[in-house]
């Protein structure tokens, strides 16, 4: 955990009760009365409420002193940034990788899981947005899916035979995104390998995953992820909303962007209905709400599944939900379940992205 460095931050973190100014003594009150214009008696009317006059500097009361609203806002922002920085859990400087590159699709939930891990641990990384149609950005790799994480020259993907053993399984894939709708077991092996390897690299102790933590990481990939597509492509309008986001944030040419938005939305609207049948989902919204409540109950009154700070299961759930949070499905989920408070705590804990902007 980082300690606040600036004097302002330290001052802000100290409790300071705000007390009203003491009442004036009788002598002071009499002197004030003598100074009034005309020397007349003190008015019996109540004191006037301060009004804001256009063009006048705005001030806010703070005990017996006033602080300009602009400065108060800056101080509040400073406190917020300190809180966010304190929530992150960076590794010791000597264990921070020197060069990290993530090959991704912006809207891919599995790529977001990796980004949530990097952001929370404050590991600087560069992003290469892969064009889902040509995939020219990853032609150098034998592995043709994302995410691919390159850490100090080492490519972190699953190196076992597990992935290939699932290749022959039949599944409906996205028209454009090979990461968004693969067989979840396959994705589980890949992401477990990526995040576990990176966790071992930055850990000062023996890297051990608890049984509860592992159970909920599997739940994310074996259950929660199945609910995303049927929900974000539930109606034609939601499918268009989702692909509008994908088209705007993906690596596409102008022509591809138009095609992706409309052809992709139409295709995935139809695919989502088949996915509902495949995974025995009757009511996609009800299933999403149930999953959100299941996760909230698993917290058992704690801020995070990890207790006072997120663990890998918290980061996995957060990463998968992050791409849909501000789509209609995500808004409905937060409005109709108890997951919103946990999600807000996760946003605060993960903090600002540690991504290096080109």
- Main-chain phi, psi angles of 213, to 5 degrees: -60, -45
By DSSP bridging, strand 148-151 and strand 100-104 are antiparallel
- The one-character DSSP state at 36 is S
By DSSP bridging, strand 154-156 and strand 148-151 are antiparallel
3-state secondary structure of 156: strand
User: Residue 285, exposed/middle/buried by CB under 10 A (0-12, 13-18, 19+)?
Assistant: middle
- The one-character DSSP state at 169 is S
Please identify every residue annotated as catalytic: 105, 108, 110-111
Q: Are 180 and 229 in contact (CB under 8 A)?
A: yes
Q: How far is CA 303 from CA 28, 231, 348, in A?
A: 53, 27, 12
Question: Which residue has tokens 């009154």?
Answer: 301
- As a whole number of angstroms, the distance between CA 98 and CA 95 comes to 9
User: Each residue of 91-109: b (16+ CB within 10 Å) or e?
Assistant: beeeeebeebbbbbbbbbb
């Amino acid at each position: 955990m980082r300690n606040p460095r600036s004097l302002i931050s330290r001052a802000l973190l100290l409790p300071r009760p705000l007390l009203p100014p003491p009442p004036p003594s009788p002598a002071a009150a009499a002197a004030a009365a003598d100074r009034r214009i005309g020397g007349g008696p003190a008015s019996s009317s109540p004191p006037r409420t301060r009004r804001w006059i256009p063009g006048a500097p705005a001030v806010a009361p703070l005990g017996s002193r006033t602080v300009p609203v602009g400065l108060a806002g800056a101080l509040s922002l400073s406190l917020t940034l300190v809180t966010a920085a304190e929530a992150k859990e960076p590794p010791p400087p000597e264990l921070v990788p020197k060069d990290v590159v993530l090959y991704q699709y912006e809207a891919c939930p599995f790529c977001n899981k990796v980004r949530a891990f990097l952001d929370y641990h404050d590991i600087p990384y560069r992003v290469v947005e892969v064009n889902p149609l040509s995939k020219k950005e990853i032609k150098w790799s034998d592995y043709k899916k994302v995410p691919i994480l390159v850490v100090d020259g080492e490519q972190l993907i699953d190196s076992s035979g597990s992935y290939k053993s699932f290749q022959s399984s039949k599944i409906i894939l996205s028209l454009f995104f090979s990461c968004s709708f693969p067989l979840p077991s396959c994705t589980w092996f890949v992401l477990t390998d990526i995040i576990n390897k990176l966790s071992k690299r930055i850990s000062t102790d023996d890297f051990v995953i608890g049984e509860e933590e592992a159970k909920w990481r599997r739940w994310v990939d074996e259950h929660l992820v199945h609910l995303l597509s049927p929900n974000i492509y539930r109606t034609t309008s939601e499918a268009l909303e989702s692909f509008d986001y994908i088209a705007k944030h993906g690596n596409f040419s102008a022509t591809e962007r138009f095609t992706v938005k409309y052809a992709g939305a139409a295709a995935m609207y139809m695919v989502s209905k088949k996915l509902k049948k495949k995974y025995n989902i009757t009511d996609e919204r009800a299933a999403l709400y149930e999953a959100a409540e299941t996760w909230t109950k698993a917290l058992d009154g704690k801020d995070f599944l990890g207790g006072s700070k997120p663990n890998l299961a918290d980061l996995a759930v957060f990463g998968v939900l992050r791409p849909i949070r501000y789509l209609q499905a995500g808004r409905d989920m937060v409005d109709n379940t108890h997951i919103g408070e946990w999600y807000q705590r996760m946003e605060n804990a993960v903090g600002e992205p540690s991504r290096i902007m080109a």
